Amino acid sequence: MTLTHLLLVAAALFAIGLFGMLARRHAIGVLLSIELMFNAVNLAIVSIAWSRGLATGVVLVLFGIAITVAEAAIGLALVLLVTRVRKTAVLDDLHDLSG
């Protein structure tokens, strides 16, 4: 189990999350994919901290998780609001700011 393996796994996770973010139609599906991407980044940080013996990796990830929590809360609140107003959470149907 080397750093390279771990980082590749993190990269794969990130790529999968990216696909979901770009391709998913439902807003919450996009949010879930974004969580995957966050998770991948955290994994990468922890892996490097483990490989280098750094203690600050923990703190960084801790902060990241806390911020992610806040972001998820607001995001979900927004989705609920949109669903209430527009009766749909499908992002393709929400294009009022088109050119």
Partner 1 sequence: MRTTAFWLLIAVLLGGALLVVTSRSLFRAAYALAATLLATAGLYALLSAPLLAAVQVILYTGGILTLTVFALVVAGDETGGVRWRRPLPAAALSVAVLAALAAAVRTARTERTPGGPDSGAAAGAALFGDYLVPFELLSVLLLGAVFGALLLARRDDPA
Partner 2 sequence: MTLALIVLAGPLIVFAAIACLPPLRRSGRPAAYVSIAGIGASCAAAMAQAAPFLRGAGIEAVRTAEVVWAPIAGAPPIRFGLLVDGLSASMAVLVALVALLVQVYSLAYMAEEKPASLGRYYAYHALFAFAMLGLVLSHNLLQTYVFWELVGLGSYLLIGFWFERPAAGRAAQKAFWTTRLGDVGFAIGIVVLWGAAGTFSFSELFARASGGALGGTALAVGVAGIYLGAMGKSAQAPFHIWLPDAMEGPTPVSALIHAATMVAAGVYLMVRIAPLLALTPQLASAVFAIGVLTAVLAASMALVENDIKRILAFSTVSQLGFMMAAVGSGGAEAAYFHLTTHAFFKALLFLAAGSLIHAVHTNDIFRMGRLARRMPVTAACFAIGALALAGVVPTSGFFSKDEILAAVLAGGHPIGFAILVAVAGMTAFYIGRAFFVALLGAHDAEDQPHESPPAMTLPMIVLGILALAGGALAPAFPRLFEATVSALPAHEASTPIFVPILGTAAAAAGLAIAWAAYQRGALDPGAVRRAAHPIVTVLERRFYVDDVFEAGYRVVYLGVSSAVGWFDRYVVDGVVNAVTWGTWILAGRLRTLQSGRVQDALYFVAGGLLLLAWLAWTG
20 binds partner 1 (CB under 8 A): yes
Please say whether the beta carbons of 56 and 49 come within 8 A: yes
- Element spanning 86, H or E: helix 56-86
CB of 26 to partner 1, least distance (A): 5
Please say whether the beta carbons of 90 and 24 come within 8 A: no
* Among residues 30, 40, 43, 44, the one that binds partner 2 under rule CB under 8 A: 30
CB of 14 to partner 2, least distance (A): 11
Only segment of 22-30, 40-48, 49-57, 69-77 that touches partner 2 (CB under 8 A): 22-30
